[in-house]
Amino acid sequence: MPGHGKAGKCWRVSAPGSDAKARMTNKLGRVRGISMKLDHAICAGSPFCLPNSLVSTKLRCGAKIHMSGDCVATNSKDKLRGPSLADRARDKLRAAILEGELKAGEKINIERVAAKFGISRTPIREALKALETEGLVQIQTNRGAMVEPQAWQEIEHRFRIRSLLEGYAAELACERRDSELIAFLQENCVLAKKECHSQTVTASRARRIAELNRAFHRAIWRGAGSLTLARFLDALDLPQSFSDSFYQDKNARDVVLQQHEAILAAFIIGDAQKARSCMERHIQVSVTLLASAADDHIGDLCC
């Protein structure tokens, strides 16, 4: 929770550019401790509290300063902080689209999203541009942004492509007969089975299963020995921010675990073609599971 100024009010600070920031920090530098904190607030787009007596100074420096009640609630799970605000906003918006919080064809209100996330509009715009390249968002001149009406189809295409690439990665990795990789996959499956067969799968346990799932796949990417292939697969991957609910479904857990064990069995016997076909089928089945739930709630592209 940030501190308060003399009047106990919280101000969100953003500057239009480095020159304005320099002017602001120079003018306020004589106030002990404020310059450094203000500089951090501007760079991070985070809330910053100042006495009302300094507000007029800030405005003359060219910065935009506005009092906002949502700035005080810095512990809210919707608030974003850190150096990669645009990336994190992109991930949260992508999750909102996939989970159905933002519907296909729905207009995206940039100011409302910025207020919800507790950041300025600039990283939101950057996030929307990134999502446009993924086929999830349309940005129309003078009309703003909207969710791509065919967003789910784009995600399905994305994972059909991933199934081919990751099948190839599994083949390459299996051919290398790396004992350390096989041992890692074995341990991963043992841990996942233990988590999946627990009597109660809480949100935290589902999160752990999702982490194990991701580790299983990324180990195979690395094991393929191709940086280019790993980069393509990483670009096709989706963040884990919306995976928990998927793994709270018993059928989804059982399917993922069984298919991971089939992939592992192919690695153990050194059958590269079987490893490839099992991986391709695994990705495709996962997409089918998600497509069946798309109209209700999309929890995660589990692979």
- What's the pLDDT score for residue 258? 95
Does 76 have pLDDT greater than 60?
Answer: no
Structural domain including 41 reads: 11-71
Average pLDDT over residues 21-30: 44
Read off the CATH number of the domain in which 274 is found: 1.20.120.530
Average pLDDT over residues 9-22: 43
Residues 139 and 177 in one domain: no
Which tokens go with 232? 């393509």
Residues 107 and 67 in one domain: no
Residues 132 and 170 in one domain: no
- Does the residue 299 lie in any domain? no
Which tokens go with 178? 């790396």
Does 173 have pLDDT greater than 90?
Answer: yes
Residues 139 and 159 in one domain: no
- Does the residue 277 lie in any domain? yes
SS3 of 232-279:
HHHHHCCCHHHCCCHHHCHHHHHHHHHHHHHHHHHHHHCCHHHHHHHH
User: How many folded domains does the chain comprise?
Assistant: 3
Percent of the chain with pLDDT over 90: 36
Lowest-pLDDT range of 66-80, 123-137, 203-217: 66-80
- Does the residue 2 lie in any domain? no
Sign of the dihedral through C-alpha 275, 278, 284, 288: negative
Does 14 have pLDDT greater than 90?
Answer: no
Average pLDDT over residues 127-154: 85
Read off the CATH number of the domain in which 132 is found: 1.10.10.10
Residues 105 and 20 in one domain: no
Q: Specify the higher pLDDT residue, 89 or 175.
A: 175
Which tokens go with 201? 């799968």
- Does the residue 78 lie in any domain? no
- What's the pLDDT score for residue 293? 52
Which tokens go with 228? 């280019």
Residues 288 and 159 in one domain: yes
Sequence-ordered alpha helix ranges (H) in the chain: 18-28, 34-44, 55-60, 85-98, 110-117, 121-133, 151-175, 179-196, 203-223, 227-236, 250-269, 272-293
Which tokens go with 1? 């929770």
- What's the pLDDT score for residue 77? 54
- Predicted model pTM: 0.60
Task: Tell me the C-alpha distance between 76 and 88, whole Å.
Answer: 15
Which pLDDT band holds residue 41 (cuts at 50, 70, 90)?
A: very low
Residues 211 and 263 in one domain: yes
Give CA 270 to chain center in angstroms: 35
List the beta bridge partners of residue 146.
107, 138
DSSP state of 49: -
Mean pLDDT of the chain: 74
Sign of the dihedral through C-alpha 190, 195, 196, 199: positive
- What's the pLDDT score for residue 35? 40
Residues 163 and 281 in one domain: yes
Which pLDDT band holds residue 250 (cuts at 50, 70, 90)?
A: confident
- Which of 191, 215, 216, 217 has the alpha carbon at shortest distance from 205? 191
Q: Specify the higher pLDDT residue, 290 or 139.
A: 139
- Per residue in 179-206, pLDDT (tens digit) is 999 999 999 999 999 998 877 778 788 8
Q: Specify the higher pLDDT residue, 126 or 44.
A: 126
- Which of 298, 134, 282, 297 has the alpha carbon at shortest distance from 213? 282
Residues 120 and 248 in one domain: no
Sign of the dihedral through C-alpha 230, 233, 238, 243: negative
Lowest-pLDDT range of 30-39, 116-125, 274-283: 30-39
Q: Is 270 left (phi over 0), alpha (psi -120 to 50) or beta?
A: left
